[in-house]
A = this chain, B = another copy of it.
Amino acid sequence: MSRDNTVFVGSKPVMNYVAAIMSSLNSSGEAVVKARGRAISFAVDAVEITRKRFLKDIILDEIEIDTEEVESFDGKMKNVSTIAIVLSRPDY
């Protein structure tokens, strides 16, 4: 799946990510919503708002969780949880 379909969720207002998800679904028929650490909750919020309020027929294809090793500000490696939620449009 191309990187163009991927929406990385961080600490911006959740409606920014909802708009990005809808844009990706409209242009390519798919969206992969990714987040790490505390932003995982916001990624789930963005997907839920998209599919419950705006695009009620989209398909929740897959949810994956995993662990990545990242370098923290003091140079130590630490583990952080990740999520990837794959959405698609049924009419695409």
- A85 CA to B83 CA in the complex, in Å? 12
> Which positions in A face B, CB cutoff 8 Å?
37-41, 44-45, 47-48, 52, 60, 63-67, 79, 81, 83, 85
- A44 CA to B40 CA in the complex, in Å? 8
Most buried by B among A41, A47, A64, A83: A41
Stoichiometry, copies per complex = 2
- A71 CA to B83 CA in the complex, in Å? 28
- A48 CA to B63 CA in the complex, in Å? 14
Are B81 and A44 touching (Cβ within 8 A)?
yes
- A50 CA to B41 CA in the complex, in Å? 19
List of B residues within 8 angstroms of A48 by Cβ? 65-67, 79, 81
